[in-house]
Amino acid sequence: MSRYVVTGTDTGVGKTLVAAGLAGHLRARYWKPVQAGLDEESDSEAVHRLTEGRAEVLPETWRLNTACSPHEAARIDGVRIDPAALVLPEGDGPLIVEGAGGVLVPVNDETLYVDLFAQWGLPVILVARTVLGTINHSLLSLEALRSRGVAVAGIVFSGYENLASEAAIVRFGQVRHLGRLPHLDPVTPASLADSVTDQIHIDVIGS
């Protein structure tokens, strides 16, 4: 059954686009447990728009006003995120869960996102940029995931092709290359769906 967590090496690396593309292609349920930042389109709203009904977008457990780390956004809102309440949605069929920021982003003052990933027990798809610095960020993220015993399904690169960096990450990280989501301008449901179909190894992810 196709049930994955999609996380990134950092914020803004394209994990929401990857999550939306996979959720739409697999006709999966999509869940963003914690949304921090409500001034602009939320990740769940973006996925709903980009999948055009092909994915079932589940409600977030926490919706926080400030666009920052969830633990700080929760403090500003006067609430505390309880990891015990962040249980995977019940039900059958494919499921895509999207993290926030990078692997080591705090959920609260004691828990990191990687701890949630270990709690959920789902394989992780790591999304990484192809720009300068991606080798270090990607390898550190892989180390952090594996240190908690989290299975890594593979890595999806986001951006313009960078064969040298991609090859180095795959080799040193001993991780499966799941494809690359190219730079999209504009980002539309059609351009995203076509790119996922053409560029991402859906046969591996969907198995």
- Residues 125-138, mean pLDDT to the nearest whole number: 97
100 is in an annotated binding site: yes
Distance CA 81, CA 109 (A): 9
The tens digit of pLDDT for each residue in 174-203 reads: 999 999 999 999 999 999 999 999 999 877
The total number of structural domains that make up the chain: 1
Q: Quick one: what percent of the chain has pLDDT higher than 70? A: 99
**CB distance 53 to 63 below 8 Å:** no
> Does the pLDDT of residue 207 top 80, yes or no?
no
pLDDT, tens only, 57-81:
999 999 999 999 999 999 999 999 9
What's the rounded mean pLDDT across residues 14-24?
96
CB count in 10 Å sphere of residue 201: 14
Smallest CA-to-CA distance from 65 within 40, 33, 31, 85 is with 40
Q: Is 183 annotated as a binding residue?
A: yes
Of the candidates 3, 32, 48, 129, the residue annotated as catalytic is: 32
Residue 14 annotated in ligand binding: yes
Q: In CATH, what number is assigned to the domain containing residue 132?
A: 3.40.50.300
SS3 of residue 36 by DSSP = strand
pLDDT at 19: 97
Calculate what percentage of the chain has a pLDDT beyond 90.
94
82 lies in which domain range? 3-205
Residue 169 appears among annotated catalytic residues: no
* 12 is annotated as contributing to ligand binding: yes
Give residue 1's pLDDT band: very low, low, confident or very high (50, 70, 90): low
pTM passes above 0.85: yes
6 in a labelled binding site? no
Which has more pLDDT, 42 or 204? 42
- Residue identified by tokens 């949630």 is 116
